[in-house]
């Protein structure tokens, strides 16, 4: 399915986002489909890594970098998800 999509659309690779992955990324279909998720420790409770992808000009081969979360100082987990942390917005 991925090969057909790439061929039909004249593409070499599909990069998609916003699906949690333990390592921050996953690669499928012989490296032709990459999922990247840039929110480490999603919702302050999942414990996953985050990742981003760089594509360098010319070769355009993906380089994936992963990273871990840092603690939110002075705020409870998910404080900003509820009405901007109680700011009334």
The predicted pLDDT at position 44 comes to 84
Instruction: Give the whole-angstrom CA distance, residue 20 versus residue 50.
Output: 9
Distance between CA atoms of 45 and 54, rounded to whole angstroms?
A: 27
Say what the pLDDT of residue 89 is: 46
Note down the domain range covering 58.
Answer: 2-71
Predicted local distance difference test score (pLDDT) of residue 88? 47
How far is residue 75 CA from its own chain's centroid? 24
Please indicate, yes or no, if residue 80 is contained in any of the structural domains: no
- pLDDT tens for each residue of 41-83: 998 889 999 999 999 888 889 999 999 998 877 777 677 666 5
Could you give the number of structural domains in the chain? 1
- Position 84 in a domain: no
Q: With respect to residue 86, please indicate whether it lies within any of the assigned structural domains.
A: no
DSSP 8-state class, residue 24: S
In angstroms, the CA 7 to CA 31 distance is 15
On whether residue 87 sits in a domain, the answer given is: no
Q: Quote the pTM value.
A: 0.76
For residue 23, name the pLDDT band (cuts at 50, 70, 90). Answer: very high
């Amino acid at each position: 399915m991925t090969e057909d999509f790439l061929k039909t659309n004249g593409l070499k690779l599909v990069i998609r986002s916003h699906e949690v992955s333990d390592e921050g990324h996953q690669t499928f279909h012989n490296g032709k489909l990459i999922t990247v998720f840039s929110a480490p420790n999603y919702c302050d409770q999942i414990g996953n890594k985050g990742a981003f992808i760089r594509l360098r000009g010319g070769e355009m081969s993906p380089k994936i970098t992963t990273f871990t979360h840092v603690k939110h100082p002075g705020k409870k987990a998910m404080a900003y998800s509820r009405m901007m942390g109680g700011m009334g917005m």
